[in-house]
């Protein structure tokens, strides 16, 4: 398998990011998220507005956003920024890391993670539960579940943290 190339995201990427993001949700979360959310005809447009804001609005200027491309198509996205959790003691939070199933295992996930959350930086993230593949990926990159649980849009999530030493 060819290795997707990872680079910083640009505003012109928003439409491709949205399409890939929704495709990844549909591959990963079918059975975890409600079908009416995944099948909403406005979902791609909603995610495009999200990505456009994330890449152009000065309020999100401290976020890091990267894409993985393969043969000119966006096949992965990642974003980190300041922590959103009220009890955060870590400086960064991974908000998003999605890959199309076809490129999982290619190394693109690790490259995206490093692009938006360099190794050695303490960080937190929320990951769907159950999602054993994603949880194992994050454990390999130094994250450990801290016992916090939340339900977001009907999806149970666990929080994972990484200390500065990784």
Alpha carbon distance 113, 109 (integer Å): 6
**Structure-token match 């199933």, residue found:** 101
Q: What is the pLDDT of residues 4-18, one digit of tens each?
A: 999 999 999 999 999
CA distances from 159 to 19, 128, 149 (A): 26, 9, 6
DSSP state letter for 33: B
For residues 32 and 11, the model is more confident at 11
For residue range 131-144, list pLDDT tens digits in order: 899 999 999 999 99
Domain holding 33, by residue range, is 5-162
CATH of the domain at 102: 3.40.630.30
Total structural domains within the chain: 1
**Does pLDDT of 49 surpass 70?**
yes
CB-based contact 48:87 (threshold 8 Å): no
| pLDDT tens digit sequence for 74-103 | 999 999 999 999 999 999 999 999 999 899
Number of helices (H) and strands (E), helices first, in the chain?
Answer: 5, 7
Q: How confident is the model at residue 46 (pLDDT cuts 50, 70, 90)?
A: confident
* Cβ neighbour number for residue 127 with a 10 Å cutoff: 18
């Amino acid at each position: 398998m060819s290795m997707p190339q990872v680079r910083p995201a640009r505003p012109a990427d928003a439409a491709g990011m949205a399409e890939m993001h929704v495709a990844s949700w549909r591959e990963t979360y079918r059975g975890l998220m409600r079908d009416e959310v995944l099948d909403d005809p406005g979902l791609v447009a909603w995610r495009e507005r999200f990505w456009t804001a994330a890449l152009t609005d000065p309020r999100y200027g401290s976020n890091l956003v990267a894409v993985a491309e393969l043969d000119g198509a966006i096949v992965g996205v990642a974003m980190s920024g300041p922590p959103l959790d009220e009890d955060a003691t870590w400086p960064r939070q991974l908000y998003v890391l999605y890959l199309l199933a076809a490129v999982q295992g290619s190394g693109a996930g690790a490259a995206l993670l490093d692009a938006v959350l360099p190794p050695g930086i303490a960080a937190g993230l929320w990951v769907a539960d159950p999602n054993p593949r994603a949880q194992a990926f994050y454990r390999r990159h130094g994250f450990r579940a801290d016992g916090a649980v939340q339900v977001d849009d009907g999806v149970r999530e666990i929080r994972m943290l990484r200390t500065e030493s990784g």
